[in-house]
Every structure is written in C-alpha cells, then in structure tokens.
A = this chain, B = another copy of it.
Amino acid sequence: MEPVTKQETRHTINNFVSVDCVIFGFDFTQLNVLLVDRVMVDELTGKEIFSDLTLAGNHIYEDEDLEEAAARILFDLTGLKDIYLEQFKTFGAPGRISRANDKLWLEASGRDPNDRIVTVGYYSLLATDKVTLEWKGRNVRWTPVSEVTELAFDHMEILNEALIALRQSLIREPIGFALLPSKFTLSQLQRVYEVILGVSLDKRNFRKKVSRMKYLVSLEEKQIGVAHKPARLYSFDRDMYESTRKELLDFAI
C-alpha cells in the first residue's frame, strides 16, 4: 500500500499470489482432507521422477477476488458451490518453497523457483459425498487428516493451521449443521462434534447443551427402518440462529 521510493531498493516485485484450499470432508467416521496427487515424469524417458501429495491451490485470475479464487478451486474439485469457505491465514516466508521436488516442479512449468509465492489459505468443510475426484488430469483423494504425515511445499503447516481454525469455528459457529441432511438426529449432530474436535462427549450433557439452542428445532418425526429405537429428527433454523446469535461479550482470559 506504500509507493516505492528511490531509497528502497530491497523490494521484491515478483511476488506471486496464490490461494490454497484445505477442503475438509466429514463422513461420520473421520475427518478427511482432499489431497491432490502430484506426479513428475521425465519427459524423455517417461519415468517417474517423484510423486507426492499437495493441497489444492491455484493462482488468482485477474478479475477475481481472493475468495472467488478459492471458491473456483473448490468448485473445480467438488462441483459444489456456496460451500462454507473461510480465509484463515496467509503464508509468505521467503523459504517456503525450498525443497528439491518443489523447485523441480515449478521449473517444469516455466517458473523461476526462486520467486516467492505468497499463498492465502482457505479452508472449507463439506460432507464427503458426490465430489469430483479428478482435477486437471490429476488424481484427487480423500485422506483421513490423522494419516497425513507429509505434503509438498509447506502444505503440512498450512493443513495444521487450517485444522486449528476449523475447530475454533466449529466451536463458535453452527457450521456443523451443513454436514447433515436437513433432518437429522441428535446423535448425528453429536458425532459431528466428536469427529471434528477429536473428543468424545457425554450424550446426556450434549443434549442438555444443544436443547438450549433455539435454532435447533425438534420435528414431530422419527427415523424409520432402523433396527433400534428410532431417533427423533431435528432441523436447523438459520433465521432463528441469525436473530438470536449474541455478540461475544463475556470474556474468558
């Protein structure tokens, strides 16, 4: 935001800006993340040079806002629009692209691997159903978050930060409801919290807690076809949530 003056010669002008999406997928069993296969092949011999995994990222187009770029990437991978998407942190350390594979990869696509790429991190959360599992000719796969140990670039760090931010959001905002069908049971809702936060919760206390939320509406309807006592169904009332959400006030330093 500051004009360049003549004294300042240490400036960089080739800062490329990209967006990386940490797409979390919930499936009632575990929390997954969408990872993209990155395979580099020797053009002459056809032999594989290396193969690893990355988050889904892309540069931003000229006419796009950052969030639009993230939504585009999300759409390309999943075919879904209007999905919960949140910016959480921007990464721009000069050495964030320093590993050999990453440099090779950039060179192969005509970039100077010494340029800095500043990347804006977004995360999103959706149910792992009906997502396109192909992107730019590359394989895309759901991987349980707990099993991800190594990623290209600094994507492991980005994933870790995203997970922290996701959990904070889940605690403070009703983003878990988007993972459920429009009518759901309290056990399903509890599962959302348990899986994403990685904790186990007491059933009775959980119900006591959510029963205080006016935007959780109890339907006069039950599950059918289940081989046990059928659960009552509930739905999420967004309008009620919007109108009763209280501003943060009491502090808990």
Chain A residues near B (Cβ < 8 Å): 1-5, 10-18, 20, 54-55, 57-66, 87, 89-94, 105-106, 108-111, 116-120, 136, 153, 155, 167-168, 170-174, 176, 193, 197, 199, 210, 213, 248-249, 251-253
In the complex, are the beta carbons of A62 and B12 less than 8 A apart?
A: yes
- Of B15, B20, B55, the residue contacting A15 (CB under 8 A) is B15
Residues on B with C-beta less than 8 A from A176 are: 253
Q: A1-B57, A110-B3 are in contact. Are A197 and B65 (CB under 8 A)?
A: no
Are A89's CB and B87's CB within 8 A? yes
User: Is there contact, CB below 8 Å, between A253 and B120?
Assistant: no
Question: Closest B-chain residue to A90, C-beta based?
Answer: B90
Name the distance in Å between A151's Cβ and chain B's nearest Cβ: 11
Contacts of A199 in B (CB 8 A): 249
- Contact (Cβ within 8 A) A105 B57: no
Would you call B64 and A108 a contact (CB within 8 A)? no
Cβ-defined contact, A2 with B59, below 8 A: yes
Known: A64-B94, A92-B120, A136-B5. A16 touches B13 (CB 8 A): yes
Closest CB pairs A-B (n = 4)? A3-B109, A1-B57, A171-B251, A15-B17
* B92 pairs with A66, CB closer than 8 A: yes
B92 touches A17 (CB 8 A): yes
Given contacts A62-B11, A62-B12, A87-B90, contact A1 B253 (CB under 8 A): no
State whether A174 and B253 are in contact (beta carbons under 8 Å apart), knowing that A55-B1, A92-B60 are contacts in the complex. yes
Distance (whole angstroms) from the CB of A116 to the closest CB of chain B: 8
Contacts of A62 in B (CB 8 A): 10-12, 94, 116
The answer to whether B20 and A248 have CB atoms under 8 Å apart is no
Q: Are B197 and A57 in contact (CB under 8 A)?
A: no
Q: Nearest Cβ in chain B — how far from A190, in angstroms?
A: 11
Q: Please determine whether B1 and A119 come into contact, CB atoms closer than 8 angstroms.
A: yes
Interchain nearest-CB distance for A146 vs B (Å): 17
Assess the B3–A18 pair: CB atoms within 8 A: no
Residue of B17, B168, B174, B197 near A118 (CB, 8 A) is: B17
With both beta carbons as reference points, the residue of chain B lying nearest to A13 in the complex is identified as: B16
Contact B10 A251 (CB under 8 A): no
Set of chain B residues within 8 Å of A110, measured between Cβ atoms = 3-4
Q: Specify which chain B residues have a CB less than 8 angstroms from the CB of A92 in the assembled complex.
A: 17, 60, 65-66, 120
